[in-house]
Amino acid sequence: MPQLDTSTWFINIVSMILTLFIVFQLKISKHSYPMHPEAKTTKMAKRLTPWESKWTKIYSPLSLPQQ
Amino acid sequence: MNENLFASFATPTMMGLPIVILIIMFPSILFPSSNRLINNRLISIQQWLVQLTSKQMMTIHNNKGQTWTLMLMSLILFIGSTNLLGLLPHSFTPTTQLSMNLGMAIPLWAGTVFMGFRHKTKAALAHFLPQGTPIFLIPMLVIIETISLFIQPMALAVRLTANITAGHLLIHLIGGATLALMDISPSTALITFIILILLTILEFAVAMIQAYVFTLLVSLYLHDNT
């Protein structure tokens, strides 16, 4: 049984650890699993952003003072 | 003859350099990581397979156990692809190396056992004694259960090594018999050739089943300890 010859064990184990614990895990972790396609509501989600709560006069370009 | 039979299991070297590191690394290039939004067929099939296996294997675990999903999925893909590539003629199969299998089995088993002792000390210690043991049997049973716990990673590694080695040896022997019988009696050679084909199909199944069994047993040890 050449498997029991311990002179090659070190290189075997080191290369296995490199492959299994680093290369494979890095590759598998990069997989992206898309969501299932499902019907979404067409209404825009209401955003709670205070700076967009009202359209103030200063933001309207037409109401800016004429240069 | 005896030398010749086991020659394919010796770690290959080329001009004194160990090329086994390249052989062990090789399956990883079969799993390309794409950065595209839409994947190609190969990656889609691989992701479907990983999703299927992880759903099947990881649903029994709690949240703590499910953190091992990435590890177990890379383990099953690594062993499975190595086994399947090893069935190509004239190729070296790293999973026939006891050292590599021990290197996979011992850290994973130790990880589960340490996790059990760290987080569920009482339950982990309770595994050492089955319920309802007569009092005079308790010391002996504790010793037996302790030995059986420490034999688990050895059994895991030897199971994979023995299965793959035995399969390769059988293919080698029956292939050699077919070749020798070709000149003597072609009709008998046909029978052995059919047996060889059936055996090869069986070995493809064994290659995948053993990858699954190895991962499933690590997953069971994990389940016992989380």
Answer whether A22 touches B (CB < 8 Å).
no
Check B25 against A26: CB less than 8 A apart: no
- With 0.90 as the threshold, say if the pTM is over it: no
Of residues A3, A17, A25, nearest to B103 (C-beta)? A17
Interface of chain B toward chain A, CB-CB under 8 angstroms: 6-7, 9-11, 18, 20-21, 24-25, 27-28, 31-33, 43, 46-47, 50-51, 70-71, 73-75, 77-78, 94, 96-100, 102-104, 161, 165
Phi, psi for residue A66 in degrees, rounded to 5: -65, 135
Q: For residue range B194-223, what is the model confidence (pLDDT) as tens digits? A: 999 999 999 999 999 999 999 999 999 999
Residue bearing tokens 């086991």: B6
- How many domains, in total, are found in chain B? 1
Q: How far is B71 from chain A (nearest CA, A)?
A: 7
CA atoms within a 13 Å half-sphere pointing along the CA-CB vector of B30: 16
Which pLDDT score, from 0 to 100, does residue B200 have? 95
Contact A3 B43 (CB under 8 A): no
Look up the domain containing B161 and give its range.
Answer: 7-225
Q: B1 lies in a domain?
A: no
- B108 is a domain residue: yes
Is B153 a domain residue? yes
Give the model confidence (pLDDT) of B31-77 as tens digits.
887 777 777 888 889 888 998 999 999 999 888 888 999 999 999 99
Q: Please tell me the distance from the alpha carbon of residue B208 to that of residue B77, in angstroms, as a whole number.
A: 9
Using CB atoms, pick whichever of A2, A27, A33 lies closest to residue B31: A27
Of A13, A24, A32, which is closest to B78 when you measure between CB atoms?
A24
Mutation target for A interface from B22, B50, B75, B100: give the one with most A CBs within 10 A: B100
State mean pLDDT over B176-192.
92
Q: Print pLDDT tens along chain A (67 aa).
A: 788 888 888 888 999 999 888 888 888 888 777 667 777 777 777 666 666 656 665 566 666 666 6
